């Protein structure tokens, strides 16, 4: 999935979080991407390449 990601976007990841959620909010964008689980608020940091591979789809794009 090639796309521009922005802080505040909600994405669905391929892998389900142990809490049962697949939706994550992007909270930092850079060489690494930081995402926060929408259900349990757990924060995870992923290398950008890995993140892009693991994203399934955009759920909600932040509009400004
Ligand atoms: Zn979670």
48-61 tens-digit pLDDT: 999 999 999 999 99
Give pLDDT, residue 2. 56
CA–centroid distance, residue 43 to ligand 1 (Å): 9
Give pLDDT, residue 63. 83
Question: 55: how many CB neighbours lie within 10 A of its CB?
Answer: 21
φ/ψ of residue 48, rounded to 5: -55, -45
Give pLDDT, residue 3. 73
Give pLDDT, residue 39. 98
What's the longest Cα–Cα distance across the chain? 32
Name the stretches of the chain with pLDDT < 70: 1-2
CA–centroid distance, residue 19 to ligand 1 (Å): 4
Nearest to 56 by CA among 15, 19, 5, 7: 15
> Could you list which residues have their CB under 5 Å from ion ligand 1?
17, 19, 21, 37, 39-40, 42
């Amino acid at each position: 999935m090639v796309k521009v990601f922005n802080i505040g976007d909600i994405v669905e990841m391929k892998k389900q979080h142990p809490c049962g959620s697949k939706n994550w909010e992007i909270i930092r964008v850079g060489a690494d991407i930081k995402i926060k689980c929408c259900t349990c608020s757990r924060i995870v940091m992923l290398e950008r390449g890995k993140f892009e591979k693991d994203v399934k789809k955009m759920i909600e794009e932040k509009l400004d």
